[in-house]
Amino acid sequence: MTKILIIDSAVTGEASVSRKLTSELAARLRQKDPTVRIAYRDIGAEPIPHLVPDTVAAIRGTADSAAAKETLRLSNELVAEVQDADVIVIGAPMYNFGIPSTLKTWFDHVLRAGITFRYTEAGPEGLVKGKRAIVIETRAGFYSEGPATGMDSQEPHLRTLLGFIGITDVSFVRAEKLAFGPDAAAAAVETAIEELRGLAETELALAA
């Protein structure tokens, strides 16, 4: 049985294109394999608290206050969800050329030395191995090629964060030009849906 973790980070609710696309992928996965197990965390609707002086030590395993203990509990829970999944699906809209702060905070709780990565004499080593990730990116503009590529602080950041913990098998599905008019937006969403259908049918290789 394949286990999927879906993370939505958009803060725009039902208006979110990335949410539409993660829902589409979930439906396709269930259609392909009714036994697939899908866990879901909505960090856009229920944001993870940003780290503050009273809680940041918890990420290093120290919990002296009630707030730090709660942070450590949450961090352990988030890490366990990642470790339990075979495939991690991330809905990541572009906000101001980067990822939502809610998603960055999720990574702040998941990237933990000695737990999801470690430092060695040869450099850092990711400890979350043997997993795939599908990142669904939604963008008002066009950043995958052309003059605006240098403004893309979204995809390179996500690739770095995932790779740092050992997840290097990553597929990026982009819905771009969403602010270029209704026709361009509809075409972008349909193209992304077709890519997701292909991933559900072939790359994920879910058992029927």
Q: What is the mean pLDDT of residues 126-148?
A: 93
For residue 5, list its beta bridge partners. Answer: 39, 88
Report CA Rg, the chain.
Answer: 17
Q: What is the pLDDT of residue 145?
A: 84
**Per-residue pLDDT for 116 more than 80?**
yes
Q: How, if at all, do strands 37-42 and 117-120 pair?
A: unpaired
Residues 33, 69 contacting (CB under 8 angstroms)? no
- Residue 161 CA to residue 170 CA, distance in Å, equals 11
For residue 208, pLDDT over 80 is answered with no
Q: How far apart, in whole angstroms, are the C-alpha atoms of residue 49 and residue 59?
A: 13
Tell me how far apart the alpha carbons of residues 35 and 9 are, in angstroms, rounded to a whole number: 26
* Residue 207 pLDDT grade (very low, low, confident, very high; cuts 50, 70, 90): very low
In this model, does residue 163 exceed pLDDT 80?
Answer: yes
- CATH of segment(s) 3-203: 3.40.50.360
Q: Note the pLDDT of residue 204.
A: 62
